[in-house]
Structure 1
């Protein structure tokens, strides 16, 4: 922050990377429109590196908060800033808005714990094994305070042979499913969303996953049995649940961020990646991730995810894993889909090509295209 000559260099790296792998918001990359000095201050907070705030107008600070909103990152900022020296804090009115978001996240975290506990108890009673994914799991396994890591839904991973049981369980608990994606095509889709029917503002949607990777041009050959065998147990004050082992959670988060949301990436996911990578043991976990990145067809995704983590949070892989030329090369399948992947959010043909190419045979491809065409017509005439 003290070297103005370094400002353009640091932020130009951000802009260059996110010109392809865009940040979410309206418009895309709106966060990058704030003054460079504010971007660097934001990065220093994500690094938890105490830095005096820049001199900026109230309008510039408001612009930062507005563009941060879709990234769900302000509770993380408050989690770090509340321990900083006063001279390093943003203006009082900005700090108060960040604190309010954090307090809302705290209430939401308690409500989500209650909802998750209800689902886990019912699943255990019915002999359904679930692994908790993404936000709820990371909030309670990575973060010192779960309120720092919000989420919009609950994600659970279930073996395919128990998906229908899990769907019936959620229906019995008062959730509704507007589509039956698993029955339509478990290859084309990888998740099913259930919405709470009850009138309760504290309840969120629940997504049942039967695969750990999105169906975009390939289906990861990783058997779910392996993921379940490596699962770890998380115990909090009121909850006990299973989630992915650190190396699997890292690969899953990289794929979810870069492949699943190529041009709508949240800053909170980049922060997750940095924390997950920081939990990997040297050398065993890093060696396993390096080898598995090719098997999972996530080699490109891992490199991009770690590059974003370095730019925003300063995380650097340990020696021996900080040079990607020494990592396994991407698989042929991953390389083949990458050009279409970069266009999928702006091109319906590219998106359909990726999705349909994940289907195992020509017959299922034709059936799925007919189903999608029929659904489109039904929506058109509503």
Structure 2
């Protein structure tokens, strides 16, 4: 890449630079480095945990003599706990896959152990906190019944009106009180209203996971996986380096870039892919395939990559709500900047659809919920007025 498209990672701490250097050292080979780095090792350990890359870092640094023994012991404990958890999740994935098949439910597993096995070669080399499963939206009731029979409890956090849950949200959460396993059942890859491939399309292009199980487990095809990983990572501001490492590993596979470019063009994500490749090539030295180089030359892609450094260089956890006001404001603006013109229009139009808050402002019988469409501007104005009066 030339200087015109280079992002400027100014303000990067020495600890983060060293972390990136470790991740840039390709493969799982140990990385002893000559000389002792002058680092705050407690901060370095915190970074490995925040970015969820401690399994890789432990593997590469476990023979380094310059790391304080307590820090190395903590890294080993993190690595060991993650290995046990990934084994546990793998067993649960196989169990769910078999049960779903017996009940005529097609499942595609996202991220987690199958991504670790397929991209890293070992499930111990990547972290995962839960199991993500994509299903056909028409099978949600069957999935719910199956999971309840298996002992899972549904988190009833979604509040909806006029079926807006189908596109405003993209997954439901389940939790098993005995095994402590959390599931996210997806019917979309990402929240709407942007368009994306249908489940049937993704199912036709699925692939069998490399995890050695007695029962086949399916994941996304590599090109669909690329689309999912870039949109997921971008939506979270690339606030965890683990997601960029996934991209780095995926780009080492024999990807069909003609198909990827067709998907990106169809679903309006060319600039998001460009942001991803600029970040990955600069921060992780990912080799950019000839079929993807055009993505990195866009001024918009480079601008978005520069904006994402705001997340990379800070300890920002977007799941830790409520977010600080400045972080929330920046993220809201960045999410809008990630949208194509078409998706921005869809997003703005989505505000005309009633929200569940409207039913609280003016309760109406369900048969009259259609009235929330013409009433929505007035209800929105009323809420804003009340908030202003109370502040």
Q: What's the TM-score bracket when you normalise by the shorter of the two chains? A: 0.7 to 0.9
Compute the displacement of 1:308 (Å): 2.0
- SS of alignment partner, residue 155 of structure 1: strand
Matches within 5 A, 1:167-206: 167-179=144-156, 181=158, 185-196=165-176, 198-200=177-179, 203-206=180-183
Give secondary structure in 1 for the equivalent of 2:117.
helix
Query: 1:100-158 deviations in whole A, cap 9, x for unaligned?
Result: 22111111111111222221122111110100001232012222210111101100000
The 5 A counterparts of 1:226-375 are 226-238=201-213, 240-258=216-234, 260-262=235-237, 265-281=239-255, 285-324=256-295, 345-346=328-329, 365-370=353-358
**Which stretch shows the higher mean deviation, 300-309 or 313-322?**
313-322
Equivalent residue, structure 1, for 2:33: 52
2:184 equivalent in structure 1 = 207
> Quick check: 2:22–2:60 contact (8 Å CA) kept in 1?
no
Give 1:43 shift: 3.7
Q: Tell whether the 8 Å contact from 1:188 to 1:358 is kept in structure 2 after alignment.
A: no
RMSD: 3.8
Q: Distance in 1 between matches of 2:99 and 2:40?
A: 48
* 3-state secondary structure, aligned to 2:131: strand
Larger Rg: 2
- Deviation, 1:315, is 0.9
Aligned-pair distance for 1:175? Answer: 1.4
> Structure 2: how far apart are the matches of 1:164 and 1:219?
24
- Which of 36, 40, 43 is 1:63 aligned to? 43
Q: Which runs of 5+ in 1 are unaligned?
A: 1-8, 20-31, 378-382
Shift of 1:299: 1.4
TM-score, length basis structure 1: 0.73
TM-score with structure 2 length normalisation?
A: 0.71
Distance 1:136 1:36 in 2: 26
Taking a change above 3 Å as real, the CA distance of residues 156 and 314 of structure 1, as seen in their structure-2 partners, is same
Structure 2: stretches of 5+ with no match in the other structure: 312-325, 363-382, 384-391
Contact conserved, 1:193 with 1:205, CA < 8 A, in 2? yes
Alignment of 1:16-95 (within 5 A): 32-35=12-15, 38-45=18-25, 50=31, 52=33, 55-57=36-38, 60-81=40-61, 86=63, 90=67, 92-95=69-72
Cα distance in 1, alignment partners of residues 66 and 26 from structure 2? 13
Number of aligned pairs?
Answer: 328
